[in-house]
Amino acid sequence: MSFDQLGLSDKVLQAVNAVGYAEPTPIQAQAIPHVLTGRDVLGLAQTGTGKTASFVLPMLTLLERGRARARMPRTLILEPTRELAAQVEDNFTRYGANHKLTVALLIGGVSFDEQDKKLTRGADVLIATPGRLLDHFERGRLLLTGVEILVIDEADRMLDMGFIPDIERIVGLITATRKPQTLLFSATMPGEIAKLAKKFMNDPERIEASRPSSTAENVSQHKVATGRKPHEKRVTLRALINRADDLTNAIIFCNRKRDVATLYRSLARHGYSVGALHGDMDQHARLATLESFRDNKISLLVASDVAARGLDIPAVSHIFNFDVPTHAEDYVHRIGRTGRAGRKGASFTLVTPEERKYVSAIEKLIDHDIPALSGFEPPADDDAEEEDQRRRRSSRRSGKDGARGRSRAKADAGEEKKEDAAKEERASKPDGGKEERGKDERGKGERSRGKSRRQREEEPVGFGDHVPAFLLQPVRIGGQ
């Protein structure tokens, strides 16, 4: 089947041909005709199979009719992360080259004023993260009653990130006057998402291009046993990277943001071309790092799960799970960053004894065992790196102590120089500096009248030994 058979407009087909795509993926071939007829669609497919184009291409065709109004977007696409939202905007730019549509991107880390200007001009397509969208709405800058098509992308990720209450509120605002065509796409389908679909969608066409929570067959999967200490895992990871002759670039996933920073510094010290990506970075730094990775300026990207969902970097050759994901669904999304568009990929998961229970949950979800890597012996426990870090910390501490000691010595030396200079000045005067010495002595006398701490503590409290006369008067008792 070709794109010509799906019912897309000539403008969209020209853009698709210009990009170089000849045949649709299974999810695209099944979803696009239903979207074009106005049906609600519930699309389930492995990550990396082209779900984004499944709604972008038919939306461009449908949007050729009508025009946008100020502060009332015609369509709304909800994304869980800034990176995914920016990526969808890129898709509209690429496939909408022959259209004159206004696309507004509402994400954090970008000026409210610039976003508000686009909304004021009128947006045919509004791409947003839930939090920033509601911020604009609560400021009275946005009306959602004109939305004709609603897309909830990466729905299971929305659930993981706690966005479901926000989604429910947004859908309530949209459906206050009309019920839009709703498209929901996901790689996994937890029970909560199924309930969400039933609540918001009207007799949706369910499309399963692959079994939910399945992994691509063209991605080889391996697990590697490693020690529980962080430096042991780092040694194992470096051995795996050095062992992979066919590695062109790789994403290395950690569960925590602080571990991303630690691993990034370790790999950089060992001479690897590496960058870091996590949720606490500002938007400019995150986009710059992703761009460097896409352009092969860096070959390794250490990332949190912010990079696990929907990022379209086609040529990633390897995935390393430095930490086993605690949620089994995240494993599917992580290794889905490689082997995209039919390419071969490889994934390696480092497993400590404590993480075996998470591997068992993953194997249950994907319905097959992850084989142990054959022919690989974990390197001996080399604590050279940890010793180096201890030396660094020790030298920093000693450096601080030494600096404090040097500053005190300088201060003492300065006081001595001042005293010597004062003595020389007094000696050079006709009276031998007697007058000034007298002043100094008087000053010392005045200072000596000040009480020391011990003297103040020994001073009596109240009247001391003195008893006032009124206390010595006899006291009459009982009228005597």
pLDDT (tens place) for every residue of the chain, 480 residues total = 889 999 999 999 999 999 888 899 999 999 999 999 999 999 988 766 788 999 999 999 999 988 888 999 999 999 998 888 988 999 999 999 999 899 999 998 888 999 999 999 999 999 999 999 999 999 999 999 999 999 999 888 888 788 989 999 999 999 888 899 999 998 778 888 888 888 889 999 999 886 666 777 889 999 999 998 889 999 999 999 999 989 999 999 999 999 999 999 999 999 999 999 987 888 788 888 988 998 999 999 999 987 776 566 778 999 999 999 998 888 988 898 898 767 899 999 999 999 999 999 999 988 899 999 988 887 765 555 555 555 565 565 555 555 555 555 555 555 555 555 555 555 555 555 545 555 454 544 444 445 555 555 555 556 666 777 777 777 777 655
Contact 276, 344 (CB under 8 A): no
Q: Which domains does the chain have, with CATH numbers?
A: 3-208 (3.40.50.300), 219-387 (3.40.50.300)
User: In 3-state terms, what secondary structure has residue 251?
Assistant: strand
Angle at CA 41, nearest 5°, toward 37 and 46?
A: 130
Q: What is the pLDDT of residue 446?
A: 46
Rounded to whole angstroms, how far apart are CA atoms 228 and 236? 11
Question: Which contiguous run of DSSP H or E holds residue 189?
Answer: none
pTM: 0.66
CA distance 258 to 264: 10
Read off the DSSP letter of residue 451.
P
Backbone φ, ψ for residue 75 (5° rounding): -135, 155
For the chain, the first-to-last Cα distance in angstroms comes to 125
Nearest to 88 by CA among 173, 151, 166, 24: 151
Residue 422 and residue 438: Cα distance in Å, rounded?
A: 14
Distance CA 287, CA 272 (A): 21
Sheet holding 219-225, edge to edge: 219-225, 345-351, 318-321, 250-253, 300-303, 274-277
Helix axes 82-95, 10-19, angle to 10 degrees: 110
pLDDT of 283 reads 76
Specify the pLDDT at position 448: 46
